[in-house]
Amino acid sequence: MQAADWVQQMAVYKTFDNGFEYIDIVNKSGRAKIAVQGAHLFHCERVGEQPLLWVSETSFFEPGKAIRGGVPICWPWFGKHQTDSSLPQHGFVRTSVWTVVDIQETDEHTTELILQLKSSARSLQLWPYIFELQLHVTVAEKLTIALTTKNCDENTFTITSALHSYFTVSDIDNVYIEGLDKTRYFDSLTKESIIQKGNTHIGGEVDRIYQNVRYPLTIHDQKRNVHIDAHGSSSAVIWNPWKEKCARMGDMKDDAYTTMLCIETANALDDARTLLPGDKHTVTAILS
């Protein structure tokens, strides 16, 4: 099969009615949808299974607005900017338009997509460094997402980042996370440093950055288990807004917190990465 024929059959460029562009991938392993804006994977499901990723029913799919759900890319800073609160939360790349540079069918069960983003006049106003980003997505038996940062500048820079994965769960009350026992975390709500004891259960608003994480992690749900492995990361963020905060968010229904859980493969806090000119760093999430 010629590459051009396969692209027409297996990876289709589509748009919403408002012109918002995405790529729809279908193979014998499953289906994935990736927005060109933000290189944002917003849908993934294996054949015969419920969607792996959660996306808000009221999320914006509009130019310049971040999608609520899927796997947003937080870069070159995670959370609020350390010194300038007027800058975009979680950086600027999730609302930037990326370029599709390659689509390959390794076999009938495996599709690989590479998107790229380079520094621009706009990005230099927000962050004064020359860079190149590549996102390599592999849709197969496992979903693999790899974000590579290259320092193309003459100066050294430091980044924090996250593959901000939202997972679909049956009910947050019936879910726990295995793999973080005895791991220290920073509680962003109380500003305390705490050591996790046993499995992680969600019983209220949670916003934690775990450090020195020993992957893999597992979400245990009544209906299925989800496994999260990572490379190039030793930090993980656990987030659920819970009832009160969810009700205040314009792009989530009031009860949306009950069917979602974020476990983010990150480079945050002490896991920030400093790149010399010419250096590269890749952070990878493997989800199954």
Catalytic center residues? 164, 264
Scan for tokens 């920030």, then name that residue.
272
β-bridge partners, 230: 285
List of residues 6+ apart from 180 with CB closer than 8 A: 196, 199, 200, 210, 213, 217, 236
Amino acid in the structure at residue 113: L
Q: How far is CA 80 from the centre of its chain?
A: 17
Angle (CA) 136 142 144, round 5°: 20
Cα–Cα distance, 172 to 203 (Å, whole number): 8
* Cα–Cα distances in angstroms (integers) from residue 82 to residues 78, 152, 160, 269, in the given order: 9, 23, 11, 11
Cα–Cα distance, 235 to 159 (Å, whole number): 14
